[in-house]
């Protein structure tokens, strides 16, 4: 059997795909059960975080395993296999081990060095153990990953290479990244009471906010988190719990709101946010308004940034949508309206919203052609000067009017997102979400400690591989020693038949002598074969041992099954 991981993350897929592919607890359980029920897989574990979904399995066939795991991910995520496939990555054997160890150390996180993923790896292992889908390989792998991650954080300064996702998000609001100075005296609203929301609440309290209001669908959990915050001795922050239904009211009082729930839909719409800041804007700032459509896509952002030659449609005349089916509370020009449209309908909707004239479109086409010609000329000049075409990077944003200081700061750490992305265009509002965090940290300088962590990962991968290869020969060694013990027992029984008058003292001495002889004969070969098996390409030594001593294959297999059963039945740590 061999380790295989199939997954997608912020490095391989856009946020929109990650949102749709996210797995709730029930979906993860069903995925694990279906994976171990599939033919190629014997063990399975799911690592699901805010920016990755990965399925680990012990498989007996590589190609069949990749096909099966990819299909299962598509089925349980609800994203079609053809759409999902371009964003999937596959790691096998040592590369799969290297990947998980890198994840555990925070090297694969959006913010390098964040340690929160260790808790998520621990949860993934506990879930697999609880469902008995983790056997010897995945138990060893995930427990070793936890040890490697802890080692990286204790032996290096990887924590300085990047902050936790919460801290990094708050630093986007603070001038010069000084969170305590920015947070002092502010009122905060935390939506959700899970691990990420609890971390956000604790971070805000340590930063010095005056008040934290916790809202959660299960009110008791919100009360518990508020109680913990109030009992903390290192802060003076006052915390209180409120029902989820009062979020709209509390938002009108908050200076900063952090949301991270397991909701599948939006927790705060753009309309909710606009209502919360409506009466709080300075006199010289235009009133908050419900923003135009925005779906988080780069092209949509660019299009939204360019003023339209014609005002968009404001009535329902000739709208291609079934307006009766649109959810209450959403604009027919908003995200919810166009979700799930086919391409043809979407194009009709775009034409209806833009209401651009054919003349304007022709002028835009001419402008685009002229711009392309200028770009090509610039590239040619660049190549002639520096000898290469520069890297393709995200275009610099167009100059916009300076906006006044926000009155409401929103940090959305959920996946799928909790806060309508259109809220970023509201006057008086600053929104930071998973996508913008990824962009902000993409070019962050790498600390020297990262190289040290990479060396730790490489060493640990080699050690894990050697241990696994050595472990694979253990059932053969056990079977050999069992056979030797049976031979000794048989010979002692035959001796007793020949010497019926042998007393107990002499019988025990003879038995012990024979066992010592057998142990000494087997000691050097079994120790040496374990050492050789731990080296790359050492798998053949187990076959040689079985052949030389004519070991029963079923005896060896029964030892392996007993070990796997023991691992799968172990209690979660």
Report the candidate in 522, 461, 454 with the shortest Cα–Cα distance to residue 487.
Answer: 522
| Residue pair 423/277 in contact by the 8 Å Cβ criterion | no
Over residues 122-139, mean pLDDT: 94
Tell whether 540 is in a known binding site. no
Tell whether 193 is in a known binding site. yes
CA distance 84 to 477: 44
Over residues 522-532, mean pLDDT: 78
CA distance 223 to 268: 21
pLDDT more than 90, % of the chain = 36
Q: What is the pLDDT of residue 442?
A: 60
Identify the band that residue 529 occupies on the pLDDT scale cut at 50, 70 and 90: confident
Tell whether 196 is in a known binding site. yes
- Beta-ladder partners of 43: 58
CA distances from 545 to 65, 402, 472, 479, 522 (A): 30, 76, 12, 10, 11
Tell whether 489 is in a known binding site. no
- Please determine, for residue 20, whether its predicted confidence score (pLDDT) is greater than 70: yes
Q: Any idea how long the chain is? A: 573
Over residues 540-565, mean pLDDT: 67
Q: What is the pLDDT of residues 283-307, one digit of tens each?
A: 666 555 555 544 444 433 433 333 3
Over residues 116-130, mean pLDDT: 93
Greater pLDDT, 73 or 531: 73
Identify the band that residue 356 occupies on the pLDDT scale cut at 50, 70 and 90: very low
CA distance 211 to 205: 8
The whole-chain average pLDDT of the chain stands at: 77
CA distance 39 to 61: 10
Over residues 113-134, mean pLDDT: 92
- Which residues are CB-neighbours of 4 under 8 A, at least 6 positions away? 56, 57, 58, 59, 62, 65, 66, 69, 90, 91, 92, 96
Tell whether 144 is in a known binding site. no
Tell whether 50 is in a known binding site. yes
Q: What is the pLDDT of residue 250?
A: 95
CA distance 552 to 457: 39
Over residues 196-209, mean pLDDT: 89
Identify the band that residue 565 occupies on the pLDDT scale cut at 50, 70 and 90: low
Q: What is the pLDDT of residue 342?
A: 47
The single residue of 50, 105, 260, 319 carrying the catalytic annotation is: 50
CA distance 226 to 204: 13
Q: What is the pLDDT of residues 214-273, one digit of tens each?
A: 999 999 999 989 998 998 887 889 999 999 999 999 999 999 999 998 887 899 999 999
Q: How many CA atoms lie within 13 A of 269 on its CB side?
A: 16
Backbone angles phi, psi at 128, to 5 degrees: -65, -40
| Residue pair 100/147 in contact by the 8 Å Cβ criterion | no
Report the candidate in 51, 23, 171 with the shortest Cα–Cα distance to residue 116.
Answer: 51
319 is catalytic: no
Query: In this predicted structure, which of 66-80, 224-238, 540-554 has the lowest mean pLDDT?
Result: 540-554
Q: What is the pLDDT of residue 562?
A: 54
Q: What is the pLDDT of residues 397-442, one digit of tens each?
A: 444 444 567 899 999 988 788 999 999 889 999 999 887 877 776 6
CA distances from 234 to 190, 195, 197, 237, 501 (A): 19, 20, 19, 9, 81
Over residues 19-27, mean pLDDT: 89
Tell whether 120 is in a known binding site. yes
Over residues 377-388, mean pLDDT: 49
Question: CA 183, 189, 192, 193: dihedral to nearest 10 degrees?
Answer: 60
Tell whether 235 is in a known binding site. no
Tell whether 149 is in a known binding site. no
Q: What is the pLDDT of residue 398?
A: 43
Backbone angles phi, psi at 59, to 5 degrees: -120, 155
Is 48 strand, coil or helix? strand
pTM check: above 0.75 = no
Over residues 306-317, mean pLDDT: 40
- Please determine, for residue 90, whether its predicted confidence score (pLDDT) is greater than 90: yes
Tell whether 115 is in a known binding site. yes
Tell whether 430 is in a known binding site. no
What is the secondary structure of 142-166 as a DSSP string?
HHHHHHHHHHHHHHS-HHHH---HH
Q: In what order do the strands lie in the sheet with 52-59?
A: 41-49, 52-59, 2-9, 89-92
Tell whether 129 is in a known binding site. no
- Beta-ladder partners of 91: 5
- Please determine, for residue 572, whether its predicted confidence score (pLDDT) is greater than 50: no
Q: What is the pLDDT of residues 458-484, one digit of tens each?
A: 999 988 988 877 777 777 778 878 888
Helical residues (DSSP H) of 47-135, grouped into ranges = 62-77, 81-84, 94-104, 116-130
Tell whether 436 is in a known binding site. no
CA distance 98 to 154: 19
In terms of phi and psi (left: phi > 0; alpha: psi -120 to 50; beta: otherwise), the region of 177 is: left
Identify the band that residue 161 occupies on the pLDDT scale cut at 50, 70 and 90: low
Give the burial class of 210: count Cβ atoms within 10 A of its Cβ; 0-12 exposed, 13-18 middle, 19 or more buried.
middle
| Residue pair 313/353 in contact by the 8 Å Cβ criterion | yes
């Amino acid at each position: 059997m061999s380790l295989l991981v199939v997954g997608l993350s912020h490095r391989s897929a856009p946020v929109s795909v990650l949102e749709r592919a996210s797995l709730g607890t029930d979906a993860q359980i069903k995925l694990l059960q279906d994976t171990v029920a599939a033919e190629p897989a014997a063990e399975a574990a799911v690592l699901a975080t805010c920016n990755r979904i990965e399925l680990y399995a012990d498989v007996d066939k590589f190609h069949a395993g990749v096909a099966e795991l990819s299909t299962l991910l598509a089925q349980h995520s609800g994203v079609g296999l053809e759409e999902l496939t371009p964003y999937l990555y596959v790691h096998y054997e040592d590369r799969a081990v290297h990947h998980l160890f890198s994840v555990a150390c925070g090297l694969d996180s959006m913010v390098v060095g964040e340690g929160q993923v260790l808790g998520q790896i621990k949860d993934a292992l506990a879930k697999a153990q609880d469902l008995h889908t983790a056997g010897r390989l995945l138990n060893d792998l995930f427990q070793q990953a936890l040890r490697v991650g802890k080692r990286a954080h204790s032996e290096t300064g990887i924590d300085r290479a990047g902050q936790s996702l919460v801290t990094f998000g708050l630093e986007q609001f603070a001038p010069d990244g000084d969170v305590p100075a920015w947070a002092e005296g502010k009122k905060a609203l935390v939506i959700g009471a899970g691990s990420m929301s609890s971390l956000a609440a604790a971070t805000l309290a340590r930063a010095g906010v005056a008040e934290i209001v916790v809202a959660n669908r299960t009110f008791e959990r919100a009360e518990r988190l508020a109680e913990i915050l109030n009992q903390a001795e290192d802060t003076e922050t006052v915390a209180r719990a409120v029902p989820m239904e009062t979020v709209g009211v509390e938002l009108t009082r908050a200076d900063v709101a952090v949301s991270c729930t397991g909701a599948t839909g939006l927790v705060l719409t753009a309309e909710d946010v606009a209502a919360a800041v409506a009466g709080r804007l300075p006199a010289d700032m235009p009133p908050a308004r419900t923003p135009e459509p925005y779906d988080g896509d780069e092209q949509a952002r660019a299009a939204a940034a360019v003023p339209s030659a014609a005002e968009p449609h404001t009535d329902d005349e000739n709208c291609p949508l079934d307006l009766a089916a649109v959810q209450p509370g959403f604009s027919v020009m908003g995200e919810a309206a166009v979700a799930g449209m086919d391409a043809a309908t979407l194009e009709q909707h775009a034409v209806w919203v833009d209401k651009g004239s054919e003349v304007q479109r022709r002028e835009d086409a001419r402008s685009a052609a002229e711009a392309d010609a200028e770009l090509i000329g610039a590239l040619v000049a660049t190549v002639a000067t520096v000898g290469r075409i520069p890297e393709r990077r995200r275009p610099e944003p167009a100059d916009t009017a300076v906006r006044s200081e926000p009155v409401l700061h929103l940090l959305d750490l959920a996946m799928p997102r909790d806060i309508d992305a259109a809220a970023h265009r509201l006057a008086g509002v600053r929104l930071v979400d998973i996508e913008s965090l990824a962009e902000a940290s993409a070019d962050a300088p790498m600390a020297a400690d990262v190289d040290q962590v990479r060396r730790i990962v490489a060493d640990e991968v080699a050690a894990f591989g050697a241990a696994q290869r050595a472990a694979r020969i253990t059932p053969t060694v056990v079977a050999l020693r069992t056979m030797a013990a049976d031979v000794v027992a048989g010979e002692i029984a035959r001796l007793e038949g020949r010497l019926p008058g042998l007393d107990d003292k002499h019988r025990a001495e003879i038995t012990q002598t024979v066992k010592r002889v057998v142990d000494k004969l087997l000691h050097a070969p079994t120790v040496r074969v374990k050492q050789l098996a731990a080296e790359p390409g050492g798998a053949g030594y187990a076959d040689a041992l079985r052949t030389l001593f004519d070991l029963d294959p079923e005896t060896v297999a029964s030892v392996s099954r007993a070990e796997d059963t023991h691992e799968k039945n172990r209690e979660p740590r």
